[in-house]
Chains A and B, each alone.
Chain A
Amino acid sequence: MRKTIFLLLAAFSVSLIFLYSCRKTESVTAATEIVKPAFSVADAKKWYVNLLSGTTSPLAKAGHFKPLWEGAVNSEDETYFIVESQVQFDHTPGFVIHPDLEMADTNNIKGKTKLLVLKSKKNGHVQAVLMHIVSQNTSGSEINYRPKGTHFTGDIFFTDLEGTFINGWKYYNGRVTEKSTAAAPKQTNNEVVGFAKPEDGDGCHRDEIRYYEQTCYYYTDGSQAFCSGWEYITSMFTTYCPTGGDPTDGAVQEIYQTNEVYSNQSIIDSLLGYPCAQNILKNLPDLNDFTDSMLNVVFGLNDDVDLKFRVSTRLTSSSQPNGETNHLGIVNGIHQLQIELNPWVLEHASQDFIARLMMHEGIHAMIQYEYEKYSSGLIDSTTFKSLYPLVWQYSRGNLALAEHIQISEAYVSSMAHALRSFNPALDIWKSTALAWAGLQDTGAYQALQDLNDVTDFNYMAKFGSAIDYETNGLKKCN
């Protein structure tokens, strides 16, 4: 009898152990599901790889370093989901930050740079920035975007991938003491790299951020073998002002300001520092016909498009392209489109030429948006073919050329009409001539009877003097 009871108890105990084990396993699984981040390292890596593969421009920006995703960490603040990764540079950056007009301690070059991939909680927009940490008392490698620790003393500043300053913060024992915000990377005469200088207030001072590089060599396991000496590259100047110690301070600010004109989608306008160009952009959706037709796709109606206009820091001279459009990928179902505009053009060309450029690149964006929808299976070939028959016909040969053929055959007259709406002083010939700009690689352009006149007019609309613009009824910026 005792033996039977003992066996029953033993069996019951074993059953309990199994039951408990099962529940424990379930709870672990459940816990794993709960802690899955809204924006994972894999998501960030995928977005970043898309950024690299989509275009030459991000490649040019980001090709000089390699993120080390294995050690990447997640965090979040009120504004962003954040993935933070160490990076390995071809040429490692270092900094000396000191008050302007005082001697820099060039024997104390230091800095640690990390890559942040930030996903906005507000609109899902994803962007990548570099966080540069210049610690007074450590190497800085232990400092994370969030939290930064209670003992950190030094500087943290943020740049985009091209090195354009976003904002900077000074810390003392883990608390923010000063901040600097400068969003307009527009060069001025009296600054090596001219930032929009905040209004000087009490206790504000101007600092120089001296930028150096050294070449480091690594073992196959990724550990650093040795580095060359530091080489001075350039300087940036910005003004720091005291803060009130707000606990939300110390964060990277949104690089781009949402343009309220496009309230039903997140067109993000970063043409800061170029108010004339911003004004042209704001006016585009109001232009008759054009708004009613295709540009609505990218300028207003579609919620699955995130279009950014950026002042290019890569295309900056008059001989370089006026603008470039790229589809950077699809993040959470939202198409990331970017239009880069050459600042030389924004400063010197006529408003009419700039408006034409924005329309031209906008159509590229629209075609690329539909192309990506087709290639990712969201629309079928019949739909795509009906939208852009010429892109379909010629894309197998050369997609870049096919887009221009489509624009030349289907959009020149509506662009011309919109340009006349933008500037009623333009006659039909002038507005049509402007609409042809940038399409010289098409057969239709080469077949123009007034080809030389059209070419010369567009040259004048870009390179002309104020008198030229006035004589020809064009509007000048500034």
Chain B
Amino acid sequence: MKNKRISFLLFFNFAFFLVPPLNAQGPNTTSFDVLISFFSAYKAPYRLSTITLPFEGLSYNFNKILDRSFLDKDLKAMSGYKQDSFFSQKDISYLKSQVQKENELVRIDSCLLLRNNIAFIGPAKEQNEYKNRSGSVTKVTQPLFSIDGNKALFYLERYCGDGCGHGVVFLMEKQKGKWVVVHNRKVWAE
């Protein structure tokens, strides 16, 4: 009987370690890493005192831009990337397979945001920013990932008051364990 209990406890403890803790490795955490890396690097040119990150999600029709000829345009000339294409054709298909999840929320931990010196604003403040003539709102989509998980793409829209705004697709790559922006493609700009 005692042996059975020990066996059970051993099994239980072993099984416990098999269950991942909340917010451990998973697509949302990776998405978060991508976005935090991006915003940390881009705070200065964006003057990011306020950002709206998609608690409510930014919906975007990725099918319009998931095309290698669009994404790879100027890749070498402007970004110095050594390969002709950022994503392989298989990656593109894989990216498309993730599009159906585009409305899935990126779970952002506001405490982590604050630790990274990025302020987070919720929907109410966001509305105030729209009303404010010199206000600004930045929104991003859920990133989409390559098959190996080392490349990502997301879409960002920024409204910076009347007559000011743009939409850009950012291509990011994990280099030496850090996510870095490799290339960007302007989708629209005012």
Contacts and interface: CB of A to CB of B under 8 A. Distances in A.
Contact of B77 (A325, A374, A400): A374
A404 B160 CA distance: 12
Interface in B38-97: 42, 45-47, 64, 67, 69-70, 73-74, 77-79
Contacts of B47: 443, 446
B187 A438 contact: no
B2 to A, nearest CB: 65
Interface in B103-157: 133-134, 136
B163 A458 contact: yes
A323 B163 CA distance: 8
A397 interface: yes
Interface of A: 49, 53, 55-57, 59, 63, 321-326, 357, 364, 371, 374-375, 377, 394-401, 403-405, 437-441, 443, 446, 451-452, 455-456, 458-459, 462
B184 A399 contact: yes
Contacts of B134: 440, 451-452, 455
Contacts of A441: 46, 136, 158, 160, 164-166
Given A375-B74, A375-B77, A398 B160 contact: no
A325 B189 CA distance: 7
22 contacts: A53-B73, A56-B188, A57-B188, A59-B64, A63-B64, A321-B165, A321-B188, A321-B190, A323-B190, A324-B189, A326-B188, A394-B45, A396-B78, A396-B183, A398-B45, A398-B184, A399-B78, A401-B45, A437-B162, A440-B136, A440-B164, A455-B161
Given A439-B164, A443-B47, A55 B188 contact: yes
B64 A397 contact: no
B186 interface: yes
A324 to B, nearest CB: 6
A53 B67 contact: yes
B172 interface: no
Given A53-B70, A322-B163, A375 B78 contact: yes
Given A399-B186, A440-B160, A446-B47, A455 B77 contact: no
B168 interface: yes
Given A377-B77, A455-B133, 4 more contacts: A399-B168, A401-B45, A458-B163, A462-B163
Contacts of B189: 324-325, 364, 400, 403-404
Main secondary structure of the interface of B (DSSP, over half): mixed
B64 A56 contact: yes
B162 A456 contact: no
B63 to A, nearest CB: 8
Contacts of A395: 78
Contacts of A377: 77
A49 to B, nearest CB: 7
Nearest to A356: B163
Interface in B2-48: 42, 45-47
Contact of B168 (A63, A357, A398, A404): A398
Contacts of B166: 398, 400-401, 441
A396 B73 contact: no
Nearest to B77: A375
A357 B134 CA distance: 18
A438 B181 contact: no
A26 B7 CA distance: 87
A386 B183 CA distance: 22
B190 A438 contact: yes
Instruction: Give the most central of B42, B161, B183: most A CB within 10 Å.
Output: B161
A57 B45 CA distance: 27
Contact of B163 (A321, A364, A401, A446): A321
Contacts of A440: 134, 136, 160-161, 163-164
B45 A397 contact: yes
Candidate in A57, A325, A401 with the most chain B CB atoms within 10 angstroms: A401
A395 B190 CA distance: 16
A130 B164 CA distance: 33
Given A322-B190, A374-B77, A375-B78, A397 B162 contact: no
B110 to A, nearest CB: 24
Nearest to A451: B134
Contacts of A63: 64
Q: Which of B183, B186, B187, B188 counts the most A-chain CB atoms under 10 A from its CB?
A: B186
A322 B50 CA distance: 24
